[in-house]
């Protein structure tokens, strides 16, 4: 037998023994009927569920899984079979980790790792993964000889936007070297035991179920999905034992190459298991193995610039200066000009720089662009990116938009020399990079002078915001002559298509009709293609021949018909990264809406995660539909079923958030005042009966509408 298969089997057999022992002990101690579950998932023990279709709910379900696990370990001298044994190790790790959550315990509460990753987080990663904002997923495991080495690798991944999961002592090593961690910073510590690596494996596996419409029990489709669509890889640091090797075999079976830093000589399998002794080369080698190309942005600024810093929070104690609309004038404006009015790459500061000794400053960020193909509608599309770009600066935090913003600059960034003109450079370079197709020239004026900032706000920005709001308000599905597809999510959900209209944004909430229109202009053959509105066959349900044609084509034949405005009949498909999901609530003859952030129960008896698992992967599920937050107050929401008057329940946070617009819509459509007061939430009812009593008291319109079913 080869040395490699030997090692894999040794590890798998060891894990199988441990797993069997742990399951037997747990049953002996707690009883076979004791429930066991990972938190906040609709996919049970995801690896077992995906591979076999078995729904583990109690300890008594586990012995059969252990038998399956053992059957995967054939001890035959064949590398393919040995990789299956690696999958057995994954199943064993899942069971061992799952047992830690017995009795609703949170075993990671006092750990430096986070353990199991809940479904909503995976859904939230959909968009950054498809846009390439997160270009890949790294798993860093073990303990390096030198802490600096592992920290340097992790920071390098972070600066490239790679989502990095840490397992083992490298967590402390990275922390001690100053690596900032957290999901929002794209460095996620999982746990210390090697079994905690399963928590990243199940992310990939659930991605296949959530986005890929992979059917449970179809192991071949599962492995094809993870290999082709999840751009993950593994780096191990320090000595390898057989358990690590067999876990690595599991990774390879899923299609994730492994780079080790120990010389394993002829155990190497080119393309799958490779040795790289020089830690300075680890990142390059790993990215090459997964064919991940990173566009390097060389900006003339003294701090790092990467999407990974987007979620960085700067506390008051760490802050050097602040621009905040509550204290001073602030505004951001992108405006289009004639060719002669814009001097390319001119960056001007009007007022003091941020080293004048003050802590608080006003700011007007005034950007003038010219482009032969520039359109007025694209101003706001560019302007909204300011938020992301400023956040990409390490040591800068930006919130809000337009004239309601807050920017903080950290002491650290300031000490590195970050000043106003660098913000101008960032804006210039990013606009010229991302909007090259429509912007030919760009000049940036940054104003910290209070009078001039106030003038720009009053004379330039406010009128522009008002004009835009008027345009948006007048923009209806009827007032435009085409809609757009968005197929960005197809890299994860191969047959999913969003149809984006003025009144219905993409279900991720990130793509409005204007965005899609700009995308088409920026990338002619890209993910957004126009759909003609000609020959509408049903304006109420929203049936258009060209929608059907485009959806049929873009879904590669998976879909025949899609209605734009019905939940019950040919509803739009969902990829998985939707902000909200709506579902019918039969007892009240209405629909409930749940947002991804809501963790509690709903009157349908299902959580967000459970509702979400009813649809996704590009399939149509009448009665359940993913959508964006903004769609809730649209006149077109469930228009075929009577419109937003069908909404009977939402989590309170969501209801409060949409209330101003939804109340206005309900007033316009039905003449109802304060409609949101008639809608239930978790403080009113978490079950259908209580909800019905409440709705009856309030005289909710859904009760007297046509039966939904
Ligand atoms: Fe994905 Fe639809 Fe959003 Fe496009 S609009 S990114 S397809 S969810
Ligand atoms: Zn999506």
**DSSP codes, 15-28:** HHHHHHHHHHHHHH
Please say whether the beta carbons of 162 and 136 come within 8 A: yes
In CATH, what number is assigned to the domain containing residue 567? Answer: 3.40.1470.10
520 and 644 housed in the same domain: yes
- Residue 578 CA to residue 354 CA, distance in Å, equals 40
Give yes or no for residue 499 CB within 6 A of ligand 1: no
139 alpha carbon – ligand 1 mean position (Å): 27
Q: How far is the CA of 508 from the centre of ligand 2 (A)?
A: 6
Report pLDDT for 128: 87
Residue 307: the pLDDT is 85
Q: What is the pLDDT of residue 685?
A: 97
Q: Does 188 sit in the ligand 1 pocket, CB within 6 Å?
A: no
Of 289, 316, 338, the last residue of a domain is 289
% of residues, the chain, pLDDT over 90: 85
Pair 27, 594: CB distance under 8 Å: no
155 and 62 in a single domain? The answer is yes
Q: What is the pLDDT of residues 280-330, one digit of tens each?
A: 999 999 999 999 988 767 799 999 998 888 888 899 999 999 999 999 999
**pLDDT for res 494:** 84
Task: Tell me whether residue 508 is in a domain.
Answer: yes
**Residue of the CA atom closest to atom 4 of ligand 1:** 486
pLDDT attached to residue 133: 84
The pLDDT value recorded for residue 103 is 80
**What number does the ligand 1 atom closest to the CA of 489 have?**
1
- Give the pLDDT band of residue 1 (cuts 50, 70, 90): low
Separation of CA 187 and ligand 1 centre (Å): 25
- Angle at which helices 79-100 and 242-253 cross, to 10°: 110
Alpha carbons within 13 A on the beta-carbon side of 265: 3
Distance 507 CA to ligand 1 centre (A): 6
Measured between alpha carbons, how far is 458 from 456 in angstroms, rounded to an integer?
A: 5
Short-list 431, 135, 513, CA closest to 294: 135
Locate 617 and state its tokens.
């992967």
The pick from 489, 495, 513, 578 for probing ligand 1's pocket by mutation, whose C-beta has the most ligand atoms within 8 angstroms, reads 489
CA 409 → CA 297, 404, 479, 504, distances in Å?
A: 21, 17, 43, 36
pLDDT for residue 701? 98
- Check if 493 has its Cβ closer than 6 Å to any atom of ligand 1: no
Q: What domain range is 36 assigned to? A: 3-289
Segment 450-500, tens digit of pLDDT: 999 999 999 999 999 999 888 888 899 999 999 999 998 888 888 899 999
Number of domains in the chain: 3
**CA separation for the pair 176, 7 (Å, rounded):** 33
Are residues 690 and 646 part of one domain? yes
Confidence of residue 17 (pLDDT cuts 50, 70, 90): very high
pLDDT in tens, 40-96: 999 999 999 999 999 999 999 999 999 999 999 999 999 999 999 999 999 999 999
- Residue 582 sits in the same domain as residue 691: yes
What is the side-by-side strand order in the sheet with 624-627? 624-627, 580-585, 590-595, 647-649
- Whether residue 510 sits in one domain with residue 430: no
Q: Domain with 461 in it: what CATH number?
A: 3.30.1650.10
Tokens encoding 553: 């084509």
Looking at the structure, do residues 107 and 228 belong to the same domain, yes or no?
yes
Torsion from C-alpha of 138, 142, 147, 151, nearest 10 degrees: 10
Residue 296 lies in a domain: no
The string of pLDDT tens digits covering residues 96-113 is 999 999 988 899 988 889
Residues 522 and 423 in one domain: no
Give 348's DSSP letter.
E
**pLDDT (tens digit per residue) in 669-690:** 999 999 999 999 999 999 999 9
Domain membership of residue 120 (yes or no) is yes
The finding on whether 486 has its CB within 6 A of some atom of ligand 1 is yes
Q: Are residues 265 and 333 in the same domain?
A: no
Beta carbon of 489 within 6 Å of any ligand 1 atom: yes
Average pLDDT over residues 15-23: 97
Token duo for residue 386: 């300011």
Which residues, 6 or more positions from 218, have their beta carbon under 8 angstroms from its beta carbon?
none
Atom in ligand 1 nearest the alpha carbon of residue 506: 5
Rounded to the nearest integer, the mean pLDDT of the chain is 94
Tell whether the model's pLDDT for residue 126 goes beyond 90: no
- Does some domain include residue 76? yes
Whichever domain contains 70, its CATH number is 3.40.50.2030
Q: Which amino acid residue places its CA nearest to atom 5 of ligand 1? A: 506
Residue 475 included in any domain: no
252 and 175, same structural domain? yes
Averaged pLDDT for residues 168-191 = 95
Indicate the top mutation candidate among 130, 520, 528 to test ligand 1's pocket, ranked by most ligand atoms within 8 A of CB: 130
The rounded Cα 331 to chain-centroid distance in angstroms is 28
Counting ligands in written order, which one lies closest to the CA of residue 576?
A: 2
From its phi and psi, is residue 400 left (phi > 0), alpha (psi between -120 and 50) or beta? left
| 88 SS3 class | helix
Domain assignment of residue 244, yes or no: yes
Do residues 24 and 51 touch, judged by C-beta distance below 8 A?
no
To the question of pTM greater than 0.95 for the whole model, the response is no
> Where a domain ends, among 421, 441, 467?
467
Average pLDDT on 194-202 reads: 96
CA distance 174 to 168: 11
| 335 and 370 part of one domain | yes
3-state secondary structure of 29: helix
Task: Give 656's contacts (C-beta < 8 A, 6+ positions apart).
Answer: none
Mean pLDDT of 12-28: 97
Residue nearest to atom 8 of ligand 1 (CA): 508
* Model confidence band, residue 510 (pLDDT cutoffs 50, 70, 90): confident
CA distances to 152, 327, 403, 468, 578 from 463, in Å = 48, 22, 12, 9, 34
Evaluate: CB of 575 within 6 angstroms of ligand 1.
yes
Could you report the per-residue pLDDT of 338-385, keeping only the tens digit for each? 999 999 999 999 999 999 999 999 999 999 999 999 999 999 999 989
Q: Are 398 and 390 a contacting pair, CB within 8 Å?
A: yes
Backbone torsions φ then ψ of 541, nearest 5 degrees? -80, -20
The pLDDT assigned to 110 comes to 81
Residues 655 and 680 in one domain: yes
Report which protein residue has its CA nearest ligand 1's atom 6.
488
Is 58 inside a domain boundary?
yes
pLDDT digits (tens, 9 = 90+) for 692-709: 999 999 999 999 999 998
Which residue's entry shows tokens 């879904």?
Answer: 555
- Once rounded to an integer, what is the mean pLDDT over residues 548-573? 93
Supply the pLDDT for residue 470. 86
Q: Does residue 611 sit within a domain?
A: yes
Q: Is the CB of residue 498 below 6 angstroms from any atom belonging to ligand 1?
A: yes
545: pLDDT strictly greater than 90: yes
Beta strands in 238-291 (DSSP E): 258-260, 273-275
Residue 247 and residue 11 in contact, taking contact as beta carbons nearer than 8 Å: yes
Question: Which of 170, 115, 129, 119 is closest to 282 using CA atoms?
Answer: 170
**Using a 6 Å cutoff on CB, does residue 508 contact ligand 1?**
yes
Domain boundary among 289, 322, 340: 289
Same domain, 200 and 284: yes
């Amino acid at each position: 037998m080869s040395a490699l298969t030997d090692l894999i089997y040794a590890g798998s057999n060891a894990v199988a023994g441990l797993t069997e022992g742990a399951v037997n002990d747990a049953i002996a101690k707690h009883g076979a009927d004791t429930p066991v579950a990972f938190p906040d998932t609709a996919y049970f023990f995801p690896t077992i569920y995906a591979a076999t279709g078995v729904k583990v709910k109690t300890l008594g379900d586990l012995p059969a899984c252990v038998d399956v696990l053992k059957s995967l370990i054939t001890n035959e001298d064949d590398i393919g079979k040995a990789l299956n044994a690696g999958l057995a190790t994954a199943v064993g790790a899942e069971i061992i980790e799952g047992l830690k959550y017995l009795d609703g315990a949170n075993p990671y509460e006092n750990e430096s790792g986070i353990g199991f990753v809940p479904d909503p987080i995976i859904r939230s990663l959909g968009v950054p993964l498809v846009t390439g904002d997160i270009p890949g997923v790294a798993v860093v495991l073990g303990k390096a000889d030198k802490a600096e080495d592992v920290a340097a690798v992790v920071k390098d991944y972070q600066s490239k936007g790679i989502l990095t999961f840490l397992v083992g002592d490298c967590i402390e090593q990275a922390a001690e070297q100053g690596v900032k961690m957290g999901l929002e910073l794209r460095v996620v510590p999982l746990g210390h035991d090697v079994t905690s690596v399963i928590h990243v494996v199940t992310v990939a596996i659930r991605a296949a179920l959530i986005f890929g419409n992979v059917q449970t029990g179809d192991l071949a489709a599962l492995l094809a999905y993870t290999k082709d669509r999840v751009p993950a890889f593994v780096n191990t640091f320090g000595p390898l034992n057989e358990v690590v090797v067999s876990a690595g075999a599991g990774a390879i079976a899923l299609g994730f190459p492994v780079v080790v830093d120990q010389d394993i000589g002829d155990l190497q399998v080119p393309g799958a298991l490779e040795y790289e002794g020089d830690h300075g080369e680890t990142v390059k080698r790993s990215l090459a193995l997964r064919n991940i190309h990173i566009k390097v942005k060389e900006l003339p600024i003294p701090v790092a610039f990467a999407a990974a810093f987007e979620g960085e929070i700067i506390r008051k104690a760490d802050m050097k200066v602040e621009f905040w609309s509550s204290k001073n004038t602030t505004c951001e404006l992108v405006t289009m000009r004639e060719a002669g009015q814009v001097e390319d790459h001119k960056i001007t500061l009007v007022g003091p720089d941020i080293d004048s000794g003050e802590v608080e400053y006003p700011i007007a960020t005034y950007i003038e662009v010219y482009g032969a193909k520039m359109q007025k509608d694209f101003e706001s599309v560019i302007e909204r990116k300011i938020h992301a770009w400023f956040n990409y600066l390490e040591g800068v935090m930006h919130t809000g938009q337009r004239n309601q913003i807050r920017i903080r600059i950290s002491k650290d960034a300031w000490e590195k020399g970050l000043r106003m003109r660098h913000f101008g450079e960032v804006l210039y370079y990013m606009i010229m990079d991302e909007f090259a197709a429509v912007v030919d020239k760009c000049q940036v004026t940054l104003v910290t002078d209070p009078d001039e900032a106030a003038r720009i706000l009053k004379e330039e920005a406010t009128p522009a915001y008002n004009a835009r709001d008027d345009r948006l308000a007048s923009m209806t599905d009827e007032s435009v002559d085409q809609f757009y597809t968005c197929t960005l999510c197809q890299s994860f959900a191969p047959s999913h298509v969003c149809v984006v209209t003025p009144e219905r944004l993409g279900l991720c909430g990130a793509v409005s009709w204007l965005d899609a229109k700009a995308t088409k202009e920026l990338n002619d053959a890209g993910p957004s293609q126009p759909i003609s509105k000609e020959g509408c066959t049903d304006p109420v349900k929203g049936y258009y021949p060209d929608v059907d044609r485009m959806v049929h084509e873009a879904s590669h034949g998976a879909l025949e018909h899609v209605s734009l405005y019905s939940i019950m009949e040919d509803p739009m498909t969902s990829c998985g990264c939707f902000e909200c999901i709506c579902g019918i609530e039969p007892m009240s003859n209405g629909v409930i809406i749940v947002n991804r952030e809501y963790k509690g129960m709903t009157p349908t008896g299902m959580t967000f995660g459970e509702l979400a698992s009813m649809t996704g992967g590009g399939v149509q599920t009448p009665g359940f539909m993913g959508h964006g937050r903004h769609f809730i107050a649209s006149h077109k929401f469930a228009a075929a079923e009577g419109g937003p008057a069908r909404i009977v329940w939402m989590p309170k946070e969501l209801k409060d958030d949409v209330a101003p617009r939804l109340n206005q819509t309900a007033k316009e459509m039905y003449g109802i005042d304060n409609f949101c007061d008639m809608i239930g939430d978790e403080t009113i009812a978490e079950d259908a009966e209580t909800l019905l009593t409440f709705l009856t008291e309030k005289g909710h319109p859904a009760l007297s509408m046509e039966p939904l079913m």
